[in-house]
Structure 1
Amino acid sequence: MSLDSLHDLYVDELKDLYNAENQLLKALPKMAKKATAPELKAAFTEHLEVTRTQIGRLEQIFTALEVSPKGKKCKAMEGLIEEGKEVLEEDGNPSVIDAALIACAQRVEHYEMAGYGCVRTFAGLLGYSEAEVLLQETLDEEKEADEKLNELAETVINVEAQGAEDDEEGEDDTEEGEEEPEDPKPAPKGGKSAPKAGSKK
């Protein structure tokens, strides 16, 4: 596609976001399944439904433009999801894995916030007032999701992950303290013990 006007760029960015949301639609159930904390599972499951609504808004905008939403691959979202897959394949402390999942999810949210902020602005400049409102709704939802993940990380997940690290260090300290004492020095030959310091000869 040739980018000869702001309208061309607007459509191109919308297609990028449409593909990004559809990639995320497939990734979120896997993230929810991997998460251990009930609050995090719920957050991912809730955002899955929100993502479906956001895709519906984009389709509404494309219908008004009389343009197909397909035809573009969002390489940025593809890369973010690939990073997320590495976490999905990791073993380790559940709380630490949950913290890693939140980090991945927030990278995605920040990318989407930047994308929706741009197309919302383009829509306003181009006079697409209805699309501008729809895109603002989605932008608000992405910000809300990011804030919720941030709060969950700061109040629950990261705290538990730090606790897991402290527990591990405590186990290491216990192991170090369980070394066997050195053998006492043998008594001198002849069966007599060495005289105590300060005693008369």
Structure 2
Amino acid sequence: MIRRPVYLLMSCMMALLLLLQAPAHAANAEVTTARIESSEEGYRMVAAFSFELSHALEEAITRGIPMYFTTEVEVTRPRWYWFDEKAINSSQTVKIGYNVWTRQYTSATNGSLLQNFVTLEEAMSTVLRPRRWVVAEKSELSSGAIYNAAVRLKLDINQVPKQPFLINALNNSDWRLSSDWKRFTFKADEK
């Protein structure tokens, strides 16, 4: 059992370490490419993003704390007589981590497709340009209909491990990363 003075000393040291970190500005992500393409499997999301990691996020990753970046897609069909019809909600999450033992960065998409990288920049390329994934089957969308689509990227801090020294850091704006929704329209294939 940890004695109270030792616990207080450890808590103060952790708080001091968090305060001494160089201040970094929370950068928002920007959606640079967003479109839905038709393929044999269905409709695929094509997206690309632009952002730089804050110093705090970069340091956390290099200390072995995994970060989860989620790309969200919403597809709706406008209706003149009622609210828009929600047709599709889809997401893809990329986990970026660092293995201290192998000194390699890792990227895993939706819990699978694990890849190893030498640098953080290479690993982050899987977040900046996520792989195309099927967001809707051909049968899910009405033939020839016009749809509104929206895409965004966010750092999902709810999936970050809740280690005691991270609790205060998670409330810091340096740990907030999100893009605005990028909205566009597309037409479903005609049969």
More helix by share: 1
Over alpha carbons, which structure has the higher Rg? Answer: 1
Higher strand share: 2
| TM-score range for the pair, normalised by the shorter chain length | under 0.3
TM-score (norm 2): 0.24
Name which structure has the greater RCO, CA cutoff 8 Å, separation 6+: 2
